Structure 1
Amino acid sequence: MSQRRKILVTSALPYVNGSPHMGHLVEYLQTDIWVRFQKLRGHDCIYVCASDAHGTPIMLKAREMGITPEALTEGYSAEFANDFRDFGVEFDNYHTTHSPENAALVNEMYEALRHKDDIYTRTIEQSYDEAEGMFLPDRFVRGTCPRCKSADQYGDACEVCGATYTPADLIDPVSVLSGTRPVKRESEHYFFRLSRYEEPLRRWMSDATLDRNVVAKLEEWFDAGLRDWDISRDAPYFGFRIPGTEDKYFYVWLDAPVGYMASFKNLCARRSDLNFDDYWRPGSDAEVYHFIGKDIMYFHTLFWPAVLQGAGFRTPSSVFAHGFLTINGQKMSKSRGTFIKARTYLDNLDPSFLRYYYATKLGPTIEDLDLNFDDFVARVNSDLVGKLINIASRCAGFISKRFDGKLAERLPDAGLFSELAAASEQLADHYERREYSKAMRSIMAFADKANRYIDEHKPWVMIKDEQKTDEVQLVCTQGLNMFRSLMIFLSPVIPAVARDARQFFNEDSWQWQDAASPLLGASLRKFKPLLTRVEADQVERMVEQSKESTPVSDTNSEGNTISIDDFMKVDLRIARIAKAEAVEGADKLLALTLDLGDSSRQVFAGIKSAYDATSLVDRHVIVVANLEPRKMRFGVSEGMVLAAGPGGKDVFLLSPDDGAQPGMRVK
C-alpha cells in the first residue's frame, strides 16, 4: 500500500427546504463508500458536509409556513442528519451554512477579492415581479430556452441542452411566484471577474482528474467565453449581507461552497489534531475532493476554483460528478409513488439493500443511475442473501455445534484463498476510481467460487462419516475465511452487515490488508442471521405509502384548480395542419402532420366523425407539444390537438386568431 494520505472529502450541501429523498442518497452513499474505503486502507480521511441554508426559496417557504427561515432550516437539517445517520452515512462533521464560521470566511474571501480588484459593481436590469414586490432569482423565472427552444426551463440554465444564460435571454419569461411576466428594473450588483481566470482554470482542469464528460463541458464553456459572475442579490433575501451595504446580500452560490470550509473549520475547533490552514492554504499536501451532481458542475468547476484561487486558498484536487436517479426508467413521480422519501424507505427496507444496489450501478461517469424495483429485489436476494450470506450460513453451524466454535489451524485449499487475497489491489483500484460496479461484480464472482467449493465438498454429507469430521472443520474454515475476506472488501458498502460479521469472528476491528491473511485457530461467537430476503410486497408497500404521503387539497381532489407551476408545465403551441388523412382500420382517427415552425410531428386525433380530412389542410390549431409520445397500433402519436365538445360529430377544434404563426407559444 502507498504511504498514508491526508484527505478531505465533501458532498454537495443539501438544500434544506424539503425532506431528503432517494435521489439525494445517490451522492451521499457514493461518497460515504469512498470515504470508508480510504479509512479502511489506513488513510487520514475526513468527511464533512453541511446544510445549504440560505436563499430565496427558503425565505419564501418559511414565509408561507409562518415561521422564521432559521426555524425552517433547523427542522429540515435535523431530518437530513437523522436520515443520513440511519443510512450509515458517517460524517466527521455536519454543519450549516448559516453559521459564524461561514460568515467569517465569506467576508474574508470577499475582502481578499475586492483588494485584488476582482470585485466590481455595475447597474443591471433585473427581473422584477410587480405582483410580489421583489426581484426574482434566476430560478424563479421560467420560459423557453433561447438555444434549443425547450419549454419551461429555468432562468439560468437549460436542463435539456445544458446552455447557460440569464433570465433576460429566455423566450416568453414568466414569474413562478405570480405567473405574471416580469418587468425590468435597474439595480446595482456586485460582480466577480471570472473572465480573468480562464488560464488558471485551464491549468487546474489539466491537473485535476476530471471525468472526460466534465472536461468536455468545461471546454464548451471556455469556447463560449467566461462571463463575470453576479455574486449579489437584492433584499428581501435570506443570507449574509455584503459588508458596507444595507440591502445587498451574497448570492447563495457564493456562500454555499464556502460551507465546505466552514464545516471543516468548525470541526478543527473541536479537534486538536486538525489545522484548518494545513488543508486549505496554498502548498497544502492534503487532497481535497468534492462529490457533486452533474447539475452543479458549472459552479464547482468554474466559479469555485476561481474564487478560491483569487481569495488566497488552494483549489480542489478534483471534483467527482455523478448522474441523476431514475426509478423504473423514469423520473421520480409522486403520482406513481416513486418520489420516495428517505424515511419512507427506512420504514420498510434495510438500508444495506440500497447501499449495495447503488454500488452495483455506480461508476465514475455522469451517466444516470436507474433503480428498477424488480431488479432491486432480484439482485439483493441473489447477491447478498443467496451468495454472500449463504457462505457463512452453510458453514457456521458446523463449527459451532461440532467444533466448539473453533476454526481449524490451516486452510485445506490455500491456493483458492490466495487467489482471493491477490485480488485485493485490483479491488482497491476499483474503489479508488469509484468503479464500484466493477468491484461488486468481482466480489460476487469470488462468492460464487466459495459456494462452489462448499458444494463440491458437501460438509453436510461428510459430517455423517465420523472419519471425515476433521475434513468438515477444514472445509468450513475455508468457507468462513473466504466469507470474512469478502466482508472486509464489502465493509465500505454494507458497514452494518460487516460490523455484525466482524463481531461473529470475534475481532475488534478490520483493516483492508486483513483480508489477505486467514483467521486460523480462532474461537467464533454464535452465528446470527445477518440479512433476510427482501420481499416484493415490502417494495409495493413503500410505493403505496409514497403515494399516500403526497397530500392533495380538497379543492384539488375535485379537479377545480391547479397551481401556476402545473399549468406552466404544459407547452401549448400553434401548429399548421400540413397533411390530414384517414387511418386505415380506425373508425375515429385522422392522422395529422403538424407544422410547428421549426419542426413537424405526427398526431392521431379522434375527430374523423366531425371533420373531412381535406378540409383541415392549412388550418391552424393548438397542440400540446410536450406530451409524452404514445405508441399506438397505427404508429406513434407525438402530441394532442385541443378541441371542445362531447365527442362524435360534436367536436370543435380550437383555432387561434388570424396572424398567429406555427410555433408560437400559447400562454
Structure 2
Amino acid sequence: MGKPVLVTAALPYANGSIHLGHMLEAIQTDVYVRARKLAGDDCVFIWADDTHGTPIELRARREGITPEQLIARAYDEHVRDYSTFGIGYDIFHTTHSEEVRSHAYAIFAAMKERGDIASRPVEQFYCPVDTMFLPDRFVRGTCPVCKSLDQYGDSCEVCGSTYAPTELGDPHCSICGTTPELRSSEHLFVPLARHAEFLREWLAEGHGTALQSSVRNHVMEWVEGGLRDWDISRDPPYFGFEIPGHPGKFFYVWFDAPIGYIGATQKYCTEHGRDFDAYWRDPSRSKSEIVHVIGKDIVYFHCLFWPAMLHTAGYTTPSRVHVHGWLTVGGEKMSKTRGTFILASTFAEHVQPEYLRYYFAAKLGATQEDIDLNLTDFVLRCDADLVKKAANLASRCCKFVSARLGGHLSAVPDDARALVDAAAARLAEAP
C-alpha cells in the first residue's frame, strides 16, 4: 500500500440547501474515492460545511435565531441530503470548530512572523440605508474585466477574475439596491506577489503538482500578469473568527474556509487514531497525497491563495487539484426564475438517487466543460444503460442456466444471502 491519500470536495455553504450543482461535485469526488479505495489505496474523504461570513450573520438575524442555530440546521440538512445520495465521506465537519480556529490562528501567526501581513486603510463600500460596510458578496455590478453584468464584488462567475468591489461598474447594494458610498476602513493584506516564485515552482509541470493543462496555463497567466495584495480581513456584521490582535476585524471566509480541510482532518485523526502530521505537516509531500476536487469558479483561491498560505506556515501543499465545470439543466445555468434550479431533496422525492449518480458518473471527464442535465437524455440513458442492459443480462443468464445446467442453480452462498434478500426486497417494491 502506498502513502495515504486525502481527498476533499469544496465545502458547501451553510446559508442554503444542497442543490444538484453541489451533488455533481459530491458524486464525482465519491466515485474517485471509492475507486482509490477499491484499488487498495489508504484513501480518506475529508469534508465540512463552510459556515462563516456576513450572509450567515444576516440570515440568522432575519430568522430571529443565532448563527450557531442556523449552521446547525444547515449541517443536519446537508448530512441528510448527502446520505440520501450515497456520498461516502469519512468525516463531515464544520469550519466553525476549535480545530479550524486553532489552525487559522497558527497560519496567520506564521504569515505575520514572516512579514506576510500588511495593514493599510482601504476605501470600502458602505450602505447608508442598511448602515453597514458591504462585504464583497453584498455588492453587485459589472465585471471590470469582461463587462459581464450582475457580478459579485470579489470575483466574476463568467471570466473567473478577482478584483476589489470598488472596481465594479454600476455598483449597488444587493440587500436594498442602493448605490453605496465609499468610506475608509483599516484592513489586513497578504502581499501575494512575494509568493510568485514559489507558485511558479508549485505550478510547473513536472514539479509534482497534478493539474489539468488548461488550469495550469490559466493560473500561470495570473501569476505572470502580476499578483495583487489579498485582503484577508472583513468588518462586522460578520460571523466568524476574530483576528488575533485586531479587535473588530474578522478573517475573510476564503482565509479560513479551506482551513476547514485541515480542521476536519484533525478531527478525523483524533477520532480514528491516525497521524495528522503525515497528512498536513509534510512540506516535501513524501508521506501523503492531498487531492482537491473543485469547481472552475474557485480555482483562483485553491491554486494561488491556498498553496501560498500552506507553504508559508509549513503545511503540506496539494498534490492534485481537479477542476470540473458547472452543472446546467436543459442547457441553461441553474436558475430559480427559469425553473431549472433543482434541490437535491426535491429530486430524491421523485427519482431514485442511484440513477443520478450513474448519469453524472457517465458524464464526468478531464475537462472543465459544463455538464448538462437533460431530463429527456437522463431518462433514455438510464433506461438503455441500466434497465435494458440489466434485463438483457438476466435474460441471457436464464437461457444459459436452462440450456447448460438443466434449469438448476446451487444454493446461495452464506456471504451472498444478504445481497440476494436486498435485491428481492427492491424488486418487490418496484411498480
Residue of structure 2 in register with 1:97 after alignment: 95
Residue in structure 1 matched with residue 371 of structure 2 by the alignment = 369
Q: 1:506: how far off?
A: 5.0
- Provide Cα deviations, 1:621-647, integer angstroms capped at 9, x if missing partner: xxxxxxxxxxxxxxxxxxxxxxxxxxx
Alignment of 1:263-342 (within 5 A): 263-272=264-273, 274-281=274-281, 282-283=283-284, 284-342=286-344
Alignment of 1:494-505 (within 5 A): none
Preserved contact between residue 385 and residue 531 of structure 1 (Cα < 8 Å)? no
**1:355 maps to amino acid:** R
Task: Say yes or no: does 1:183 pair with 2:184.
Answer: no
Q: Which residue of 2 aligns with 1:587?
A: none
Q: 2:15 is aligned with what amino acid?
A: N
Partners of 1:393 and 1:529 within 8 A in 2: no
Amino acid of the structure 1 residue aligned with 2:249: K
| 2:22 equivalent among 18, 21, 24 | 24
Aligned residues: 424
The answer to whether the Cα contact below 8 Å between 2:141 and 2:151 also exists between their aligned partners in 1 is yes
- Once the two structures are TM-superposed, the CA of residue 66 in structure 1 deviates from its matched residue by 1.0
1:112 maps to 2:110: yes
Matched-pair contact (CA < 8 Å) for 1:325–1:369: yes
Q: Is the 2:136–2:153 Cα contact (8 Å) retained in structure 1? A: yes
Query: Residues 389 and 530 of structure 1 are in contact (CA less than 8 Å); yes or no, is this contact kept in structure 2?
Result: no
Counterpart pick for 1:155 among 136, 153, 156: 153
Cα distance, 1:314 vs structure 2: 1.4
> Cα distance 1:69–1:364, how it changes in 2: closer, same or farther (>3 A)?
same
Contact 2:203 2:220 in 1 (8 A): no
Identify the residue that residue 33 of structure 2 maps to in structure 1: 35
Extract unaligned runs of 5+ from structure 2. none
Residue-by-residue CA offset, 1:268-304 (whole Å, 9 max, x unaligned): 11111x1111111123411000111111111000000
Structure-2 separation of matches of 1:298 and 1:130: 32
Q: Distance in 2 between matches of 1:534 and 1:314?
A: 49
Are 1:358 and 2:335 an aligned pair? no
TM-score (norm 2): 0.93
Alignment-mate amino acid for residue 213 of structure 1: S
| CA shift for structure 1 position 178 | 2.1
Q: Distance in 2 between matches of 1:532 and 1:217?
A: 53
The structural deviation recorded for 1:151 is 1.9
> Distance in 1 between the 2:414 and 2:215 partners?
45
Cross-structure match for 1:554: none
Provide the rounded CA distance (Å) in 1 between the counterparts of 2:349 and 2:194: 51
Write out aligned runs for 1:255-654 (5 A): 255-272=256-273, 274-281=274-281, 282-283=283-284, 284-388=286-390, 390-392=392-394, 394-395=396-397, 398=398, 458-459=399-400, 463=402, 469-470=404-405, 507=415, 525=420, 528=424
After superposition, the Cα gap between the structure-2 partners of 1:293 and 1:525, relative to the gap in structure 1 and judged at 3 Å, is closer
CA contact (8 A) 1:9 1:45 kept: yes
Aligned equivalents of 1:191, 1:231: Cα separation in 2 = 6
Contact 2:332 2:340 in 1 (8 A): no
Cα pair 2:324 2:366 within 8 Å, conserved: yes
Larger CA Rg, structure 1 vs 2:
1
CA distance in 2, matches of 1:161, 1:94: 31
Aligned-pair Cα RMSD in Å: 2.4
Query: Which amino acid is 2:103 matched to?
Result: L
Structure-2 change in CA distance of 1:376 and 1:196 (3 Å):
same
Distance 1:388 1:112, change over 3 A: same
1:213 equivalent in structure 2 = 214
CA contact (8 A) 1:381 1:534 kept: no
Quick one: structure 1 residues 202 and 533, their matched pair in 2 at CA, closer, same or farther if it must change by over 3 Å? Answer: farther
Aligned to 1:34, the other structure's residue is in SS state helix
Letter in 2 for 1:334: K
Q: CA deviation at 1:507?
A: 3.9
Q: Helix, strand or coil: the match of 2:335?
A: coil
Residue identity matched to 1:220: E
Q: 1:333-354 CA distances to partner (integer Å, 9 max, x unpaired)?
A: 3345431111111111111100
Is contact 1:505-1:525 (8 Å) kept?
no
Amino acid at match of 1:276: F
Matched residue type, 1:265: Q
| Contact 1:380 1:534 (8 Å CA) reproduced | no
Tell me, yes or no, if structure 1 residue 247 matches structure 2 residue 248.
yes
Tell me: CA distance 1:387–1:58, structure 2 relative to 1, closer, same or farther (3 Å). Answer: same
Contact 2:143–2:168 at 8 Å: present in 1 too?
yes
Q: Percent identity?
A: 50
CA deviation map 1:102-136 (0-9, x unaligned): 11110011111111111111111111111111111
Query: Could you tell me whether the CA contact under 8 Å between 2:199 and 2:308 is conserved in 1?
Result: yes
Write the distance in 1 (CA, Å) between the matches of 2:427 and 2:367: 31
Deviation at 1:534, TM superposition (A): 10
Q: CA deviation at 1:26?
A: 0.5
CA gap of 1:505–1:60, structure 2 versus 1, over 3 A, is farther
Per the TM alignment, residue 162 of structure 1 is displaced from its structure 2 partner at its CA by 2.9
**TM-score for both structures, normalised by structure 1:** 0.61
The amino acid that maps onto 1:308 is L
Structure 2 CA distance for aligned equivalents of residues 133 and 262 of structure 1: 34
